[in-house]
Amino acid sequence: EGLTIVGLNWRDERADALDMLRQAGNPYHAIPTDPDSDVAVDLGVYGAPESFIIDKQGVIRDKHVGAVTPELWRERLAPLIQRLQAES
């Protein structure tokens, strides 16, 4: 709630990515593609999945390499997001 989730299609064919989202569900507000890895390089991405928490000013406040598990969400990401929302 209150979050904008943006995915980045980094190394997948568009049709394959859309098929996966149809099967698994699509939580994303937008999914730009990065065919030349320009965005991934700028963000320092070296493997997928990677998740970034970006504040309203566009500052990366956290980065996680790997899957977002319920435990990670509960213990690290949700508290950070709540704090950022309270600050704005």
Instruction: Express each pLDDT in 38-69 by its tens digit.
Output: 999 999 998 889 999 999 999 999 999 999 99
Give the type of residue at 50: E
Provide the 10 A C-beta neighbour count for residue 43. 16
Query: Dihedral of CA 17/61/77/41: which sign?
Result: positive
pLDDT at 47: 86
pTM: 0.85
What does the alpha-carbon distance between residue 79 and residue 17 come to, in Å, rounded to a whole number?
30
